[in-house]
Amino acid sequence: MMPSELAELLARRRAGWTLPQAFFNDPAIYRRDLERVWRTGWLFAGHACEIRQPGDFFLVEIDADSVIVVRGDDGAVHALHNVCRHRGSIICTEPAGHVNKLVCPYHQWAYDLDGRLVAWRGMQPELRKEDFSLHRVHVREVAGLIFINLARSPLPFAAAEECLAPLFRPQGLERAKIAKTVDYLVKANWKIVWENNRECFHCNVNHPQYTKANFDHYNADDTAPRIRDEMAAAAAHVETKWAAAGIPTHKQTGMTKFPDAERGIWFSANRTPLVAGWVSESMDGRQVAPLMGDYRDPDVGTLRARALPNFWNHSSCDHSVSTRLLPAGPQLTAIRVWWLVDEHAVEGRDYDLSRLLPFWQLTSEQDWLICERQQRGINSSAYESGPYSTFKEYNVEGFVRWYLDMLARES
Amino acid sequence: MMPSELAELLARRRAGWTLPQAFFNDPAIYRRDLERVWRTGWLFAGHACEIRQPGDFFLVEIDADSVIVVRGDDGAVHALHNVCRHRGSIICTEPAGHVNKLVCPYHQWAYDLDGRLVAWRGMQPELRKEDFSLHRVHVREVAGLIFINLARSPLPFAAAEECLAPLFRPQGLERAKIAKTVDYLVKANWKIVWENNRECFHCNVNHPQYTKANFDHYNADDTAPRIRDEMAAAAAHVETKWAAAGIPTHKQTGMTKFPDAERGIWFSANRTPLVAGWVSESMDGRQVAPLMGDYRDPDVGTLRARALPNFWNHSSCDHSVSTRLLPAGPQLTAIRVWWLVDEHAVEGRDYDLSRLLPFWQLTSEQDWLICERQQRGINSSAYESGPYSTFKEYNVEGFVRWYLDMLARES
Amino acid sequence: MMPSELAELLARRRAGWTLPQAFFNDPAIYRRDLERVWRTGWLFAGHACEIRQPGDFFLVEIDADSVIVVRGDDGAVHALHNVCRHRGSIICTEPAGHVNKLVCPYHQWAYDLDGRLVAWRGMQPELRKEDFSLHRVHVREVAGLIFINLARSPLPFAAAEECLAPLFRPQGLERAKIAKTVDYLVKANWKIVWENNRECFHCNVNHPQYTKANFDHYNADDTAPRIRDEMAAAAAHVETKWAAAGIPTHKQTGMTKFPDAERGIWFSANRTPLVAGWVSESMDGRQVAPLMGDYRDPDVGTLRARALPNFWNHSSCDHSVSTRLLPAGPQLTAIRVWWLVDEHAVEGRDYDLSRLLPFWQLTSEQDWLICERQQRGINSSAYESGPYSTFKEYNVEGFVRWYLDMLARES
């Protein structure tokens, strides 16, 4: 695709309407997305508790880019391209594990956990080891969440940290453990998955479990007074209570306004009440694991966060669910969902997967099915842009604006 | 592929010789085929008896284009692009079924069976529902066969109807039922499948079942006098008999001349005798199901029809077999074969699939194997155009001329 | 890819450093490789003993090109493109077998075993059979090894024959039989497989079996005096002995220098001693099958040969192992490994596969895993060229120079 063709496509985009087909299935646009979004933005990689000890690592695969996220000897998290500087072999061959050094399995070039080449055999003396460190990837750890950035000069992270750190502090994700991960390969462009995530207009019919627990499928334009009163009461109730307990929140009960392309906001978080009687996003609203972090009372609603282009999290008093998207092709998105519980919780004694998983497993899989259907329809020669509801899909339009801004940035 | 490259390829085509390799495996030519042939021509979709009641529907997938063929409340057949005008999701997610309205599973935009948008939630009042009907596809029903056309201004259908209607009338396909369908994904370009269909030069060795029942593997140039006499006797015998019974026919016993690019003929049908003693295209020539339609005597030979680019049918006194091609990639063709019997016939009592299917199942699968072998050879760098037999492959050359005419049309 | 883009890529190549990414995964470069390397060079096809009798054949699939290698009625080996000159079908549909004539399964055009068209049906008399022979492929048989060449005017073969014939003579491959073949589909570009083959720098850690038997993982720069003495002793021992027995050799105990791009050397062979006490490349160094060919004493070291772009062989006194690469996509290589033993050896009596196979099966599969890991790393956007060791990877650089020379040749 020539820049002029992209410019023409962008010019054809009508504000408030869905993107033209090529944005969802053209390999050239997909390559542009990799460059301008995935190799520019901050990507959620995984959780600090997955790599507690120096030498613990996991891999993140962003299309063809494999990144090693490893706890260094100094206790800090490092992120390194998983590509040996000798002949290009991957170094870590398993998706996660423990290493003392990063040793390439091909010719045993050995790197420290921060990527410095420390040993090689048989190379000519005129070459200098310091020129062959593993390519480093920027990394930030905030409240137990690890973000990486493949750009040379990444966008600033400080504002995201300021937003996420206080809200996640009481959740105690650093003191959590992974109860379960489930991996999906969804046959849809990654933007379709986000557009689905950015509205709850589809929730009533598609998410019977989710809508029992939450308020955010209600919108200002069509919500009955009774519901509005219920929402206000829930908000008032928890506001006082949470303030007393020192639990930070934001006064938002409906759908969060996010992202904000104009102000460069690619992250957000807020705490919101659940419906009366629910203390956890579980099938029946009851607690399904011990309280996490600093919580002493289960009535903490849900903490939610989202960060573009690849992360969202819903945390209840007793468990936390993270979702990570990774692009795997123009019409393919690799999605991992993690369920975390307190690090001391013991399966079978303190929690059962059969009670912990279904709420978000069902809700997630309902969404993946929706996304695959939308991809199929968009691939049709009859597809044309349709209008977003200004009442219910403003955040989808917000996402599209954010995306187009990223695409237009000078790399 | 630039227009100039296509023009060069077309210029290299030698009349009477097979097409150059690119026509069989180049993605750009395939996209051109979709545009100029598949989104321009009349496509066989399925049978009227598959959607008897208002709300009955089935889908047709032409490469990435999904079309809903549905019986409307008025009893007429409608064809609609299966793409919601809101955000592009497919609307019908199952290959066939029954609906009252066409309701998009994503946000429940609801359309009438003729495609008019009748309900949506939460959209801004300045938008008008009448601007968001499902995109309509032209449709014609003739003698129980449903054809669709994706073009804005389709080629005329009247002549095809005049040809097919009287010949199919006595077969009674509207009063038939589907006994069985079998789906194939054949690893060959769709044109290879047609070229195979357009000659019976390959029948002697490859189709032991077919050649027992039929005359059309005989050609004028090499047929022994005894066979010619047998063919003439068969023709004379049935001509009188069919005239008396009011069964329309054409005086053709050999291979039909079809298509006729010069006269724009993309369809044809004729009735032809079977060999003496055979009343059905079954393994032993005996009747395998009750008489269909208006037939009172099994001795009706076979009715055959073909319509470019995607349909042929062989009908005996007791059953009818339809074959539909759909393009699924440069080297991939999705083929469905239907076996139909009288609507009142009961499986196990009136017919057995083990006797009904083999004749055409074997013959079809023999052809798919041939096609896949031809595709493999054509993909070789050593492939070059070869000559068609002017005695036996004139219809293949006719097909190629028709195809090249379609390709050259202004879209 | 435009010639200018390739020129730019070639200009970016730094001597002594690995090739840029595009050479390992770009479809345009892959097509260029097919043209300039695979349809220009001499390819190992298989063994003479696989087609002992006139009419015995096997197929070789070079990407989309299928070639029939067949023993003719005159006892000579012929190689023919497996593409009927009529409509392009493949003619031989099984990977190996026996035929009297080459008869196309579609319309029975029949060719002699040397490719001359001898029968067709129904073609117009103005066409001449002699214009429709199967396209011939150049073929050479040397010491039981069959090489083919798809070029019109192939590179000379005489020097290769002069090199290979005397060294392979005593091995008696013409009087061998195939004990086993194993096929692999390795997810790596074919050049990655060669680069792996062209150094034993990786052997110490990756090939525990191989390094027990051989000396060639030792290099002049870092080998202890004890090992050097051992190598010299082994060489001196066999030199005298082999000379007395009339077994040709080359005085090389380390890694052979190969290929030599400057002198156009794409083939080489040499005999080299095994470590003391080993007479066969088997798991324990003991003989695993009867002596082959002219050998009367098992102490013949190993005969090795390699020919670019697709062959290597290791032969011990009792068995011979051939490896053949064929390109199957930009990131896919089809590899076959053959184990040959004396033609009179009987499985279960004279040899067991469980003792014959493991040495080379394990070593081969260790290499394929390495290759797939290197491909994965090279696909990363973070991959950049790295330096070859001038001490240990000179042959890899030699391979790259040979490859780039081939690529730059006028076709």
CB neighbourhood size of A383 (10 A): 26
**A97, B227, C368, C377, C378 from C184: Cα distances, Å:** 29, 53, 9, 21, 21
Amino acid symbol at A331: Q
- For A21, nearest residue in chain B (alpha carbons): B88
Q: Does C37 touch chain B (CB under 8 A)?
A: no
A107 interaction partners in chain C (CB closer than 8 Å): 201-202
Residue A70, token pair as written in the block: 């490893």
Burial class (CB in 10 A: 0-12, 13-18, 19+), B72: middle
**Model pLDDT, residue A253:** 45
**Model pLDDT, residue C387:** 98
Residue A118, token pair as written in the block: 């420390």
**Range in A12-26, A101-115, C241-255, C256-270 with the lowest mean pLDDT:** C241-255
Confirm if A89 and A104 have CB atoms less than 8 A apart: yes
Scan residues 218-277 of A and list those with Cβ closer than 8 Å to B. 219, 221-222
Binary contact (B83, A382; C-beta < 8 A):
yes
Q: pLDDT tens digits, residue range C203-218? A: 999 999 999 998 877 7
Interface size A-B, in CB pairs within 8 Å, comes to 83
Q: How far apart, in whole angstroms, are the C-alpha atoms of residue A409 and residue A266?
A: 15
pLDDT band per the 50, 70, 90 thresholds, residue B7: confident
Nearest CB partner across the interface for A381, out of B39, B90, B105 = B39
Tell me the mean pLDDT in the region C257-284: 90
* Min distance B106 CA to chain A CA atoms (Å): 6
**Averaged confidence pLDDT in chain B:** 94
In this predicted structure, the answer to whether residue B115 has a pLDDT above a threshold of 70 is yes
Percent pLDDT > 90 in chain B is 81
Scan residues 356-375 of A and list those with Cβ closer than 8 Å to B. 370, 373-374
pLDDT band per the 50, 70, 90 thresholds, residue B410: low
End-to-end CA distance of chain B: 17
pLDDT band per the 50, 70, 90 thresholds, residue B253: very low
Q: pLDDT tens digits, residue range C81-102? A: 999 999 999 999 999 999 999 9
The predicted complex's ipTM stands at 0.95
pLDDT band per the 50, 70, 90 thresholds, residue B237: confident
Confirm if A347 and A194 have CB atoms less than 8 A apart: no
Tell me the mean pLDDT in the region C164-187: 97
DSSP B313-350: EEE-SS-EEEEEEEEEETTEEEEEEEEEEETT--BTTT
pLDDT band per the 50, 70, 90 thresholds, residue B231: confident
**Model pLDDT, residue C6:** 84
pLDDT band per the 50, 70, 90 thresholds, residue B264: confident
Q: Is the dihedral of CA C355, C360, C361, C363 positive or negative?
A: positive
**Model pLDDT, residue C250:** 66
**Range in A214-218, B51-55, C48-52 with the lowest mean pLDDT:** A214-218
**Test mutation, A389, A391, A397, chain B, max B CBs within 10 A:** A389
Binding partners of C (≥3 Cβ pairs within 8 A): A, B
Long-range pairs for A120-126 at CB < 8 Å and ≥24 separation? A120/A86, A121/C201, A121/C222, A122/C201, A122/C219, A122/C221, A122/C222, A122/C389, A122/C391, A122/C392, A123/C387, A123/C389, A123/C391, A124/C387, A124/C389, A124/C390, A124/C391
**Range in B118-132, C238-252, C360-374 with the lowest mean pLDDT:** C238-252
Q: Does A122 touch chain C (CB under 8 A)?
A: yes
Nearest CB partner across the interface for A84, out of C195, C221, C377 = C377
CB neighbours of B163 closer than 8 A, spacing ≥ 6?
A: B267, B268, B269
Binding partners of A (≥3 Cβ pairs within 8 A): B, C
Please name which of C336, C60, C4, C34 lies closest in space to residue C191, comparing C-alpha atoms.
Answer: C34
Tell me the mean pLDDT in the region C321-345: 98
DSSP C324-344: EEEEEETTEEEEEEEEEEETT
**Model pLDDT, residue A221:** 65
Q: How far apart, in whole angstroms, are the C-alpha atoms of residue C232 and residue C224?
A: 12
Confirm if B380 and C83 have CB atoms less than 8 A apart: yes
Q: Is B144 helix (H, G, I), strand (E, B) or coil?
A: coil
B131 interaction partners in chain A (CB closer than 8 Å): none
**Model pLDDT, residue C253:** 45
**B409, C107, C111, C114 from C70: Cα distances, Å:** 47, 21, 12, 8
Q: How far apart, in whole angstroms, are the C-alpha atoms of residue A382 and residue B410?
A: 20
Amino acid symbol at A344: H
CB neighbourhood size of C112 (10 A): 18
**Range in A200-209, B22-31, B42-51, B217-226 with the lowest mean pLDDT:** B217-226
**Model pLDDT, residue B373:** 98
Cis peptide bond N-terminal to B309, omega within 30: yes
B394 interaction partners in chain C (CB closer than 8 Å): none
Q: Facing residues of A69 across strands?
A: A58, A79
Please name which of A312, A329, A330, A334 lies closest in space to residue A321, comparing C-alpha atoms.
Answer: A312
Residue A319, token pair as written in the block: 């468990």
Strand order in the sheet with B136-142: B42-47, B145-149, B136-142, B77-81, B65-71, B56-62, B96-98
* Min distance B390 CA to chain C CA atoms (Å): 6
In this predicted structure, the answer to whether residue C242 has a pLDDT above a threshold of 50 is yes
Amino acid symbol at B323: T
Residue A85, token pair as written in the block: 């500087």
Low pLDDT (below 70) residues in chain A: 1, 219-222, 250-256, 410-411
Percent pLDDT > 90 in chain A is 82
Q: Facing residues of C347 across strands?
A: C351
Q: How far apart, in whole angstroms, are the C-alpha atoms of residue B198 and residue B371?
A: 13
**Strands C320-329 and C311-315: what pairing?**
antiparallel
Percent pLDDT > 70 in chain C is 96
